[in-house]
Amino acid sequence: MINIEYYNKLYHDSVAKIQSDNYELDKLIDSNDDRRFGISLILRPDESIKERIQNFLSKLKSVEPNQYYYPNSDIHVTVMSIISCYDGFHLDQISIDDYIEAVMKSLNSSESFDISFKGITASPSCVLVQGFMENNNLNLIRNRLRNVFKSTQLEQSMDVRYALRTAHSTVVRLKENLEQKQKFLDVLKDFRDFNFGTMKVDTLELVYNDWYQRVDKVKTLYEFPLV
């Protein structure tokens, strides 16, 4: 499957970069001047999966406590970044009802689907939990979203950064130089194939969000039940 190949390449390429100190630090996480906001359609892993993720994160925290670790409230999978976060975007610039209507049209008769969270991968700046779709429903939803929004005059920036094809969840962001790099990589290796659990996705959320989906910055605009 494309997801496995993608995740494997990402992992090996990123570990090599981390080992050679070519990783990237996020300098905006602690900034009070970060005003990047956007609109996303997301799903949230269930509590049992999030608890297993926190167990994994606790192992990483024990060797690298100064990185940014996602709390349960912020862990999510992006179904589609409808308006990618940018500096200065505010809700009063758009008609929320028009966006809700467009998403509702995209999700018409969309069925619930299963996602299995198994193993971790990495990027040069993040650690991600791998998500695998049990069927093609999520991709169908994404394609409908693309088609519906392209037929409107609504502001959107889907696929501008990259076309979403996976169901991963970012759970760690590097913000400080790694002090125990090898131990950090050893923990990643230990959880490379760890089974975090499988869940049925029966609700999607349209949210106004900052770059990190922090609970104190996120505003839920609408929840969409799936059939």
Helix or strand (DSSP H, E) at 77: strand 77-87
Query: How would residue 158 be classed by pLDDT, with cut points 50, 70 and 90?
Result: confident
DSSP state of 111: P
- pLDDT of 162 reads 58
pTM: 0.94
Residue type, 195: N
- CA 14 to chain centroid: 18
Query: HSE (CB half, 13 Å, CA atoms) of 108?
Result: 6
DSSP state of 152: S
3-state helix, strand and coil shares in percent for the chain, rounded to the nearest 5: 35, 30, 35
- pLDDT of 161 reads 59
Main-chain dihedrals φ then ψ at residue 183, nearest 5 degrees: -65, -35
Tens of pLDDT, residues 109-138:
899 999 999 999 999 999 999 999 989 999
CATH class of 2-225: alpha beta
Query: How would residue 157 be classed by pLDDT, with cut points 50, 70 and 90?
Result: confident
- pLDDT of 134 reads 84
Six token digits for residue 208: 């106004």
- pLDDT of 208 reads 98
Identify the CA nearest to 43 among candidates 193, 174, 187, 166.
166
Six token digits for residue 156: 């959107």
Tens of pLDDT, residues 162-172:
567 899 999 99
